[in-house]
A and B are shown apart, each in its own frame.
Chain A
Amino acid sequence: MSKYRKLFGFVFAISICLSSLTACGAASEQEAMEVGEGLKEGDAAPDFTATLVDGSEFKMSDHKDDVVILNFFASWCGPCMREMPAFDMLKKDEYSNLSILCVNCEEDKTTVDALVENHGFTFPIAYDEDGTIGAKYPSEGIPYTLIIKNGVIEKIFLGAQDADTQYKEYKGAIDACMN
């Protein structure tokens, strides 16, 4: 009999929790992120205006004739930081109509400024303190990199390995867009 009581107790406790928490979950459905809710290859790249570390501005719609490599990163993200030299390598390749933009995810300006100074990055890096740009390009995680040609997303990369591997991957995708 005590075994039944024990079982009943567990089932009762789980039921109470699940019913109250399902209600809680349902109330904030919009806050959860659906699988595949983000952008897909072939979608139009959402427009945004970003302020860069050097003080200039980057407007996506101004780059409709370019190939744009758009990356989302943060200082706390190990894979992001490991792949960053790939963007320096791409910059050194001096493509005539390639725009590189790395958007920092929701860290404050002082952190981003210190990071850029510390690593000596020379490619364009944008602030996104309130996550406005990130919200237009939702993804499950970072690093998240998109290759955009004529305002259309051609290729999406999720995650990253080392800088050399990523350089080859990105260069391949950029070359395919240029041809």
Chain B
Amino acid sequence: MKVGEHLKKFSRRYVQLITAVLYNCNVKGFATGTIWKGNSKGVCVPGLNCYSCPGAIASCPLGSLQTALVSSRYKFPYYIIGTLLLMGLFLGRFICGFLCPFGMIQEFLHKIPTPKLKKSKTTRGLTCIKYVLLVLFAVMIPIFYSAPGFCKYICLAGTLEAGIPLTFMQKKLRSLIGILFGWKVVLLLTIIIICIFAYRGFCRFICPLGAIYSFFQPVSFFGVQVDEAKCIHCDACVRNCKMDVKKICDRECIQCGECIRHCPVDAIHIGIRRIDRKKRSLQVIFIVLAVILIVVGLNSKGFHDIKSKAIRLCYECMGIG
């Protein structure tokens, strides 16, 4: 295989790899048990990546949303909502396919040779769990019980990236380990096992961030698109897709572009999408809304708020809070 062909075939893997390294480029942090305290922590990366990870140089959008909702009775979280709106609007679940380190980890886990769980009506039904988790754990618990529910009780990123390495490296944090940490480690192992058998099991069934981005799928600027003039409706794209999609670019599509290889008539493309006038108007409305929210958020110290949270260890995310 020529280098050009190789790069084309594995371009998504390279993007995932580079993204994972860029998100976690505080190399010294991994060696010494430090967390990054720079201004970049006031910015959210698009994918799931715990900001208490020693390597993380920016904030996790889901973690930031939850901590902002915890204190939302005092200050409306304009900045983080605007940021999520903007990222979702531009990229949708392309973020899941290309820009999430945990997506990549799950894909590697799925390469372990074992019998695999095939997608079915049942797995499609199970994808609704992530919407329930979004509402209950990422929105309701933070607002009504003042705790980042998803980070605290479920998120594997906090356990894997921060909880385990930092309690291992810092003796004084070990004294905070309790039942919650045990629960999170067991859950992490369970999710790892699920991901070995089910392709991207965490993304498909659990991740509330994927659930948020899925709302933007119909209007996102970037992504996969089918040329209806060329399409022969053979369904090769849907049949070969490992996610629970019913059609290309529906809520479960992570825009990975795997379907492009399987299309016999080259009718699928990835890039800036052409959409109808009605959706274009929606895009404009969302952009204006996102910009207003971000500007208002910045004026009310939203950047500073996200940073001041992310430069401190989130004990709850680590499972020791």
Q: Footprint of B on A, CB under 8 Å?
A: 2, 5-6, 9-10, 13-14, 17-18, 21-22, 24-26, 28-29, 31-35, 74-76, 78-79, 81-82, 105-108, 110-111, 114-115, 118, 131, 139-142, 158-159
CB < 8 Å neighbour of A78 from B22, B33, B300, B321: B321
User: Between A and B, how many residue pairs show CB distances below 8 Å?
Assistant: 125
Q: A25-B27, A32-B29, A35-B33 are in contact. Are A106 and B21 (CB under 8 A)?
A: no
Q: Is B1 an interface residue (CB 8 A)?
A: yes
- Cβ-defined contact, B309 with A108, below 8 A: no
Q: A27 CB to closest chain B CB, in angstroms?
A: 10
A111 to B26, CA, bound (A): 32
Interface size class of B (residues with CB under 8 A): 35 or more
Q: Check A2/B28 contact, CB under 8 A, given A106-B304, A118-B73, A159-B315.
A: no
Instruction: Check B182 for interface membership: any CB of A closer than 8 A.
Output: no
Are the CB atoms of B74 and A21 closer together than 8 Å?
no
A155 shortest CB reach to chain B, Å? 13
- A-B CB contact pairs (8 Å), 19 listed: A2-B1, A9-B6, A9-B14, A10-B17, A13-B14, A17-B21, A17-B22, A25-B25, A25-B28, A28-B38, A31-B36, A32-B35, A33-B34, A35-B170, A78-B70, A78-B152, A140-B313, A141-B315, A158-B175
Q: Select which of B27, B68, B304, B320 is within 8 A of A21 by beta carbon.
A: B27
Q: Which residue of B lies closest to A156 (CB)?
A: B172
Task: Please indicate the chain B residues that have their CB under 8 angstroms from the CB of A2 in the complex.
Answer: 1, 6
Chain A CB within 8 A of B240 CB: no
3 pairs of A and B residues whose beta carbons are closest in the complex: A21-B25, A141-B313, A17-B21
- Beta-carbon contact of B25 and A75 below 8 Å: no
Q: With an 8 A cutoff between CB atoms, is B118 at the interface?
A: no
Choose among B25, B68, B312 the residue with the greatest number of A CB atoms under 10 Å from its CB. B312
A10 to B173, alpha carbons, bound, how many Å? 35
Instruction: Give Cα A79 to B38, complex, Å.
Output: 24
B190-234 CB mask vs A (1 if < 8 Å, else 0) is 000000000000000000000000000000000000000000000
Which applies to chain A's interface (DSSP): helix, strand, loop or mixed? Answer: helix
Residue-wise interface mask of B (230-245) relative to A, using a CB-CB cutoff of 8 A (1 in contact, 0 not): 0000000000000000
| In the assembled complex, B285 has its CB within 8 A of some CB on chain A | no
B28-A29 in contact (CB<8A): yes
With a cutoff of 8 Å between Cβ atoms, the chain A residues found around residue B25 in the complex are: 17, 21, 24-25
Residues of B within 8 A of A (CB): 1, 3, 6-7, 10, 14, 17-18, 21-22, 25-29, 32-38, 67-68, 70-71, 73-75, 146-148, 152, 169-170, 172-173, 175-176, 300-301, 304-305, 308-309, 311-316, 320-321
Give bound CA distance, A157 to B230, whole Å. Answer: 66
Q: Is the CB of A17 within 8 A of B18?
A: yes
Instruction: Give the complex CA separation of A75 and B311 in angstroms.
Output: 15
Contact A31 B312 (CB under 8 A): no
Cα distance A13–B16 when bound, in Å?
11
* Set of chain B residues within 8 Å of A9, measured between Cβ atoms: 6-7, 10, 14
Partner of A35, one of B147, B169, B316: B169
CA distance A108 to B314 in the complex (A): 20
CB <8 Å contact, A158 and B6: no
Chain A hits for B37, CB < 8 A: 31-33
Note all chain A residues with C-beta closer than 8 A to B313: 140-141
Whether A5 touches B6, Cβ cut-off 8 Å, given contacts A17-B21, A33-B34, A140-B313, is: yes
Contacts of A82 in B (CB 8 A): 146
Which residues of A have CB within 8 Å of B33?
A: 35
Cβ A76 vs Cβ B309 within 8 A: yes
| 17 extra interface residue pairs, beta carbon distance < 8 Å, beyond A9-B10, A75-B70 | A2-B6, A5-B1, A13-B18, A25-B28, A25-B29, A26-B28, A32-B26, A32-B34, A34-B34, A35-B33, A76-B67, A79-B316, A106-B304, A111-B74, A158-B175, A158-B176, A159-B176
Shortest distance from the beta carbon of A28 to any chain B beta carbon, whole Å: 5
Please give, as numbers and ranges, the residues of chain A lying within 8 Å of B38 by CB-CB distance. Answer: 28, 31
> Provided the pairs A14-B21, A25-B25, A105-B312 are in contact, do residues A76 and B71 lie with their beta carbons within 8 angstroms?
yes
A140 to B27, CA, bound (A): 18
| B71 and A75 contacting across the interface, CB-CB below 8 Å | yes
A142 to B315 alpha-carbon distance, docked (Å): 8
